[in-house]
Amino acid sequence: MKRIVYSIFVLGLSVSATADDLRSYTQPQDSEKMSNMGLDMHISPQNGLYLMSTDSRYVVKGELHIIDRFNGQRVDSLPELRRTKNTVDLSLIGIDPLKLASATLGAASATIGATLFFNPLSQNSVPLLEKINKLEAKGQFVHIVPFPTPGNSMEEINNVICGFQDKPDETLKKLLSGSKDFRKCAMQESLMRSLLTASLLAQGQMPMAITSSGRLLLGKSATQFDETVASESP
């Protein structure tokens, strides 16, 4: 599994600075968080574009060349960071959703939809399950990647995955009815790949959805993934 890497080259740094110079870095005109890498991007009339550690201790300035490996694009401004930070091209980081412990619901020919990481056994999952059911009825696809959260074991999630792979529509109906009784099945090796993928992309925010256009939705925004999918429909 590859980690996100921002390539940064720094030229012409000053070896000393006054107290006023240092204080000016904590008063940016505009800022944007750069995932969980510990650096945020800032801009100010006095200092131009610079990076500062989340604890405000370290500043990186000079000629910055930042490459977002999740999109294969350079990020040289705050607008570009905001435009790309919530998108991802899974192929660039070697992730194929079909090779995760997962199942696809919907029309086989569907090109509009989303990959959804969530815990289908959670009480909070019912609205998501209902949306999956509606998207499937619209001829769109939902690639389901069940993900364990506190209160459910890996084995329980694995059994749900087997259910979706064997009888997807029946499994969805069982979950919507509140049933959590699924037959035991052999543990899937790809389940660990699913966990690592979620750890890489979700940044601790679940559920997570990735639409067919590459939009990355985390936490609360992922619960509205159907609206984003609808906006991408022709």
CATH number reported for the structural domain that contains residue 44 in this entry: 3.10.450
Residues 133 and 184 in one domain: yes
Residues 135 and 222 in one domain: yes
The pLDDT value given to residue 149: 86
The pLDDT value given to residue 14: 45
Residues 112 and 213 in one domain: yes
The pLDDT value given to residue 185: 93
Q: What is the pLDDT along the chain (234 residues), one digit of tens a residue?
A: 444 444 433 334 444 556 666 677 777 888 888 876 688 999 898 888 889 998 888 888 888 888 898 999 999 889 999 889 899 999 999 999 989 999 999 876 788 999 999 999 998 899 999 999 888 788 889 999 998 888 889 999 999 999 999 999 999 999 999 998 899 999 999 999 999 999 889 878 899 999 999 999 999 899 999 999 988 876
Residue 149, Cβ density class (10 Å: 0-12 exposed, 13-18 middle, ≥19 buried): middle
The pLDDT value given to residue 9: 37
Residues 134 and 70 in one domain: no
Task: Say how far apart CA 207 and CA 201 lie, in whole Å.
Answer: 11
**Could you tell me if residue 3 is inside a domain?**
no
Task: Say how far apart CA 96 and CA 147 lie, in whole Å.
Answer: 16
Task: Say how far apart CA 71 and CA 35 lie, in whole Å.
Answer: 14
Q: How many distinct structural domains can be found in the chain?
A: 2
Q: Minimal CA–CA distance to 17: which of 69, 78, 76, 59?
A: 59
Residues 40 and 133 in one domain: no
